[in-house]
Amino acid sequence: MRFLSACALLCLCIATAFLSACNDGREASRAENNDIEGSFASLPTPDGMSDEGIIIFAPANCPSDVARRADEMAQYLDAQGIDYKLASAAEFGDLASREEAERVMSVMNGPIPVVFVNGRARANPTPEEVEAEYRRTTRG
């Protein structure tokens, strides 16, 4: 039961992080991107989302610098002919352990936008890093 409470708290923390990023204009430099080993990390994909392709998580309808970075990433991917999905919320209801929950939280509560590429995630990557990870991990 304690683990289920941790999962519910994780969802709340993720939603709160996205809202506060928009509301207070939180700025995060690329140097602050201290997610797991500074690269894309294998993480469970949020509930109801495919582990194939690109998902960009950022606040919806937000004028902040966070949203601008997400928009720039989307424009870059469009120019490269790479499909992606935009999302403003994530739920992780089926995490296997506390350690997995902590890994997910470390990335999802990192600098926004958070990007999943073929089941691997990173907080605040550059558009070029997203493209490179996509090309490296795409099957076919």
List the chain domain ranges: 2-137
**Structural fold of domain 2-137:** Glutaredoxin (3.40.30)
The C-alpha atoms of residue 104 and residue 99 are separated, in whole angstroms, by: 9
Tens of pLDDT along 80-108? 999 999 999 899 888 889 999 998 999 98
Side-chain half-sphere CA neighbours of 59 within 13 A: 23
Q: Which of 122, 115, 39, 131 is nearest to 81 (CA)?
A: 131
User: What span, in angstroms and rounded, lies between the C-alpha atoms of 140 and 131?
Assistant: 16
Full-model pTM? 0.75
Tell me the β-bridge partners of 42.
120
Three-class DSSP category at 77: helix
Read off the pLDDT of residues 9-63 as tens digits, 9 standing for 90 and up.
444 444 444 445 454 444 443 334 343 446 899 999 899 999 899 999 988 877 7
